[in-house]
A and B are shown apart, each in its own frame.
Chain A
Amino acid sequence: MNLKTRSLPDRLNSSRSQVFKNWETLLFAVAVSIFVVNSFASPYFLDAWGLSDATFNFTEKAMIAFAMALLIITGEIDLSVASIIALASTAMGAGLQLGLGTPELVFIGLVVGLLCGAFNAVLVTVLGLPSIVVTIGTMSLFRGISYIVLGDQAYRGYPPDFAFFGQGYVFWVFSFELVLFAVLALIYGILLHKTNFGRSIYAIGNNPTGALFSGIRVQRVKFILFLLTGLMSGVAAICLTSRLGSTRPSIGAGMELEVITMVVLGGVNILGGSGTILGVVLAAFVMGLVTFGFGLLNVPGIVMSIFIGLLLIGVIALPRLWKIFLNKG
């Protein structure tokens, strides 16, 4: 995509980078201030059940965003995640028509997600194709298959116990999705920051050739990450289908954009090489709170999408503008 040159700083923690040294601190401050502003803007904001409902705005997207963050850190991208949701959900719907029960439906959702991820992975790592084109292609292909199967129809009538994944609560206001989100955040945080596998992800993103020469199996790591992204899309498909209680081929349309925005907002470098899971978690909260707050103020969804678009560009543009400003001043 862009030029692959990367200039590494001579020394870290220079006084200039101090300002934006900690992206996570900044995000945390933003999240807190949005929270405060919202609680003043609307009397309905500070309500445990309301806030619990608001978490549904981001939990499914964030599950995918964790895996996507790892993928983007290695310098790849997957634009097909929302289409994988559509295909996995359609497959579950088809299973439902055969009279399968909840465990089988969950199994189908996960397997279809994995298979879609494996399809992307083979094209990118085995055939060596650029991930952006491959996943633009599979984005049409996967959702296209859903359209072939469903057309203008929908699958309905999921079993009552299936509803637990999207509508159930584990403890008081903590929904199943929120708990799953927290558990996955922990798992991905450990995977990225505390394991050899995580180190190799950063190594690949900073210098794929260098990583290869230091004994990292670059293609295998990328293969696993595409599989993980597919699997997470499958998990998100289960939650979303369960929450909506029906499957249409347009399910989750445009979600890939929000997932990528979440990852980039979380401070992950879109060109690869840096980023943290904590950043993604905070970005998820920021986006969720903003969407919820706007919703309470009766702002239409499409206007929120302008905001998300501006957020995506602004998050990357502002530090760069700041840098230009400092260099001139």
Chain B
Amino acid sequence: MIKRFLIARETLLLGVILVLIALVASRFPGFVAAGNLVNVFNDTAPLIILALGQMVVIVTRCIDLSVAGNLALTGMAVAMLNSVAPGLPIPIILTISIVLGAGMGLMNGLLVWKLEIPPIVVTLGTMTIFRGVIFLISDGKWVNAHEMSASFTGFPRAEIMGLPVMSWIAIGVSLLFLLLITRTSLGRAFFAVGGNPHAAVYTGINVGKTQCAAFVISGALAGLVGYLWVARYAVAYVDIAGGFELEVVAACVIGGISIAGGLGSVGGAVLGALFLGVVKNALPVVHISPFWQLAISGAAIVIAVTFNARSNRSSGRVILKPVRPNS
């Protein structure tokens, strides 16, 4: 029954996106040309990847506002590494960026797990710390395209079967998440922790550890996107992806992931990100100033969360006395 409702919500969102595309296409047919749709998808790929990572964090009743800072710091680190050692092969760069990102995620996770600091405080803090560290390591300087090697910048743009690698990675990560959520015990644990932490403790799940795992996943993906972002735009500086964390949270909220935890789906996160991506790419086509983007995503969050509230589950009866979940 709940599942049927979830399906209905995602189909609704998919319908909204299709209507939006159709509306734009009715005035500007070029928007639905295959090449342009590929561009729109590729443009949205980083948002999709980050929204998936954010999804598991939000499902466990946390929030990760440090993803954009993490992305920028990892991006700057690998860009500087590349300018120093241009011969480094791409697989190694990818590994470094994922490990770096995961390390920063672990930092958030440990603060939430071991010290029980509220996630919003932790990630608000690390968000600024990461940005500051970028300034420290780069001395405020930019890493420009001519300082990066051709293979470094070429990787996310290389095309396989007409689709850039960046898009393939987004598709791959989505499929991995589908497996993680539906086929693994960790995936179940995320929902158990978010749905009812007390009950989760009684079923033998370590709440703090599960939340920490969610932060590590979100951090690792932020690191991965950090490399892809810097390579795709061929520039790294302190403020790249500034404010992107809000867009990521927006994608999740629009995708029907409940901030109260325990509710959400891979499809929702992907569609939420696609919705924002389509809006962003449609604005210049229909000659609306890009300055509208911020207000539109803000309005979309407010509208989406109002919609989501309609589906709030009624809380069950308390049978067992609450325990401290992290002990």
Contact = CB atoms under 8 A, between A and B. Distances in A.
B279 to A, nearest CB: 12
Interface residues of B, number: 51
Contacts of B291: 144, 147-148, 151, 249
A177 B120 CA distance: 30
Nearest to B253: A133
Contacts of B302: 123, 134, 137-138, 141
A154 interface: no
Contacts, number: 154
Contact of B249 (A123, A136, A270): A136
A309 B127 contact: yes
Contacts of B293: 144
Contacts of B294: 140-141, 143-144, 147
B63 A309 contact: no
A310 B298 contact: no
Nearest to A147: B291
Contacts of B61: 1-3
A282 interface: no
Nearest to A320: B115
Given A129-B305, A133-B301, A306-B132, A321 B115 contact: yes
Contact of A140 (B115, B124, B301, B324): B301
A264 B121 contact: yes
Contacts of B125: 261, 309-310, 312-313
Interface string A178-214: 0000000000000000000000000000000000000
Contact of B246 (A140, A270, A312): A140
Interface string A129-162: 1101110111111111101100100000000000
B35 interface: no
Interface of B: 61-63, 111, 115-122, 124-129, 131-133, 135-136, 140, 197, 238, 246, 249-250, 253, 259-260, 289, 291-302, 305-306, 309, 322, 324-325
Shortest 7 CB-CB contacts between residues of A and residues of B: A144-B295, A140-B298, A141-B298, A306-B132, A137-B301, A144-B294, A309-B128
Interface of A: 1-3, 5, 7, 77, 123, 127-130, 132-134, 136-145, 147-148, 151, 249, 254, 257, 260-261, 264, 270-271, 300, 302-303, 305-306, 308-310, 312-313, 316-317, 320-321
11 contacts: A133-B305, A137-B250, A140-B246, A143-B294, A144-B296, A147-B295, A264-B121, A309-B124, A309-B127, A313-B122, A321-B115
